[in-house]
Structure 1
Amino acid sequence: MKEIDRLKIEVSANFSVAIAEINKTDSAVARICVETAQAKAEELLNKVLALPAVNSDDKALISKLRTDIAILEREKHDLDVRAKALKSECTVLSGEFHQYKASQEGSVTKILELEREQTRSQDKLKRLEKENSRLSSVDSELKKLKKMNPAGLMNTVAKLKEKIAKNNELHKDALRKKTEEAEKYRKANKTVAEQIHLLVGKSITPKPIRSKQGYLFSVIEHQNAPTYVTNGLQFGVVGMIPSSDMGWHLQVESELGINIVVSVSELLRPFFPMSSELARVWPPELNAVIELAVTDYTRRNMPERVGFVNRVEQVILTSNEALSEQEQTALKRLKLITMLDFLDSREEATFKALLNFGMSQKEVDTLVSKVGNLYRELQKEYASYLKEKEKQKQVA
C-alpha cells in the first residue's frame, strides 16, 4: 500500500506540472507526450482500481486524476486552435509579401534577392521541423511504459518532462526567428518602394497595358536623367551605351522581368523592338503610346525637329515597304532591337550571319545594299536638317 500511495502522489504532482507547462507553450511534441502519458496513466489507474487493497481515498484520487486528464484534453484543443491561428497569420504574411512583390514594377532584381532570403529562411524552418520530428521519437519510448512498473513510469515521466522543456525552447527560438525574418522583409520592401519612387518619372500610360501572354507594360518618361542609346539588347537584358546628346528617354517596364529603355536621339525617333523573343510578348498598343509620347515631347521641346522627323519617318516607311517578307524575317532573326542598331552595325561580318538563315549570297548582298541605301538616305536628310538648323541660327 505504501508503494501505491507514493505512486498516487507522484502521478498527481507530475500531471499538475504538465498542465502548467502546457499553459505556457503550444509545442506539438508536448501534446504528443501528454496524450501518450495520459493513455498510460489511465491504463495503470484502471489496474490500481482493480486491486483489492484500493480504498475509497485511492478511488477518489483516481477520479481526480481523470478530471485532470479531461483538463489536458481541453488544453490540447486550445493548443490546436492557437497553432491554426499562427499558421493562418504566416499564410497572410506570405500573401502580403507576394502581392507587394507583384506591385513593384522595375524592382525585379531586389525582389529576387528577397525571395532567395525567404528560401534560406524556409530551409532553416525545415531543419527545425526535422529536429522536431526527431524529438517525436519519444513516442517509441512511451510504448516501453507497457513493460515498466510504477517506479519505472515515474522515471520515464521525469525524462519526458526534460525533453518537453527542451522542445519548448526550440519552439520559442523558431518563433523568434520567424518574427525577425518577417520584419526584415517589411523593411526591405519599404526600402525598395522608396527607391522606385525616386526613379519613376512621368507616367505615359494611365494604367499598364497587358499583352496576350499576361505581361503588363508601363511607359514612363524620364527627364534630366541619365540617358542611353540601345545597343543590340537581347530579350530582358539591358546593355546600353551612354550618350550625351540626349535629354530624355522613355522607359518600358514589365512586372515579369522586362526592362527596356527606348531612347530618343538627335537623328531618329525610337524604333520598336524587332527581336523575335520580345516581339512575341510586345503589345501592339505600346507602339501608338510611344509614338504619341515622342511626338508630344518633340512639339513641346524641339519644334524645329518636327519637319525633319517627319521626313525621316517617310524614308524609313518607304524603305521598309521595299523589303521582302524574307528580308524582314531575317532582320528580326538577327535579334537587333532597333533599326538604328542595324544601321550602326555596317560591318560585313554582321550580315554574314544571314547566310545561316537559308539566304543565298545574292540575297544577302541585296539586303545589304537596301540597308546601305536607307542609311545614305537618312544621312542626306540629317545633313539637310543641320543646314536648316544653321540657317535658323544665323537668322536669329
Structure 2
Amino acid sequence: MRNRKKRWETLLAAIAMMTVLLAGCGNSAGEQGQAAEEKTLDEQVDDIVASMSMTEKVGQMVMIGVKGTEVNDDSLYMLHQYHMGGIILFDRNMESAEQTKKLIADLQAQAEQKVPLFIGVDEEGGDVVRGKSFLTPPPSQREIGQTGEVTKAEDSADKTAVALKKLGFNVNFAPVADVDSDARSFGPDGEQTTKFVQAASQGYEKNRVMYALKHFPGIGRGTVDSHQDISTIAASKEELEKRDLLPFKAIIDERQPEDYFILISHLRYPAYDAENPASLSKAIQTDLLRGELGYRGLIITDDTEMGALAKYYSFRELGVRAVTAGADVVMVCHEYEHETDVYLGLLDAVKDGTISEDRINESVRRIVKAKLLHAKTEA
C-alpha cells in the first residue's frame, strides 16, 4: 500500500477549520481554530455527530434526486425539513456548465447543514453519461478494456474527475466493477477487470473525488435489467469469489475506506441469500462485505425506485430493510413522495426500536468522516 502519511496530515489540517463551526461562541476565531487543530479527525467526527439531532442523522443516510435546474422550494424543503445528506443530479438538472456549477454551489450554500452535501452523478462513460452538451463523454469502459492498456483507465478517470470537480461534484458513481462483456464493464476476465478498476480508482483519488464501485457483488452474470425487475444470479460462492468479487476485494484490500463507496445491486444471489436481493440482504452486506471482505467504508444502495425493489416493497419498508441489512446510505432518485417515505420509514424505525441509535450513529460517523475528507471541492 502506498505511504499516505503526508496526504493524511494535509487533509487533517484542511478539515480542522470545519470544527470551528461547532465550537463555542465564547472563544475568538483564533482560539477556536487552535482548538480544532488539536483534535484528531475521529474526535472531530464524534463532535459533529454528537451535535446532530436524530432527524439530522437519518437525513444524512438518504441520497435523493431533485427536480429542476435551480434551487427551488421543493428541493429546499427536502434539505431543511428532512436534512437529506446527498443529491444525485441527472440530465434533467444539467443544462450548461455555468448553470450546473451554480446549482451545485447554491445547494451546498443553502442546505444549512453541519457538513457539506454529497453531490453525485453517473458519469461512467459510453452510454451512461450526463451533460453531453458541455461535458466530453468518457469512452465506455469496454472500449478502454479492449485496448489492454491499464493506464487508459486511470487517464479517463483523471479527466472525468477534473471535469466533475470543476462543477462542484464530489462523488462519481463509477467505475463499474462488474466482470462482463457488456459495454459498461472493462471486460469478461476477472483479473484483467481488477487491474483496470484499480487504475481508475487512482485517477479519482488523485483529484480527491469519491468514486463508487458498482454493483456489488457483481451483476455481470445477470440477465434482467434491474430497472425493470429482479433477477437471480445462479453462480456458486466459488464461482463468484473466483471472478465477480475480485475487483471489489482488490480495492478493499489496498485503498483507504473513506475514498469510495460500494454500491449494492438489487439482484438476488442464492449462494449467499436465497430470499433477499443484495441491497436488502444482511448476509451479503454485513456478513460478506463487512465480515469476510473487511470493508469499512460507505455502503450505498442502487436506486430503490428500480423495478427490482419498487415492485415488491413499500418505500417506507425499503429504507429500513436496507439499513438493517447494513447499508449506510439509501438512494432514491426521482419522486419526492418516495424520498419522503424512505426517510420517514427510517425515522419511525428508530423511534420504535427497530433500528437502534447506535446503528444510526455507526453509519453517520462513516458519512461525516468521508465528507470531512472529500465533500468540500475546489472552485
- Which TM class, normalised by the smaller chain length? under 0.3
Q: Which fold has the larger relative contact order, with Cα–Cα distance below 8 Å and residues 6 or more apart in sequence? A: 2
TM-score normalised by structure 1 residue count: 0.24
Higher Cα Rg, which structure: 1
TM-score normalised by structure 2 residue count: 0.25
Give the number of the structure whose residues are more often helix, by fraction.
1
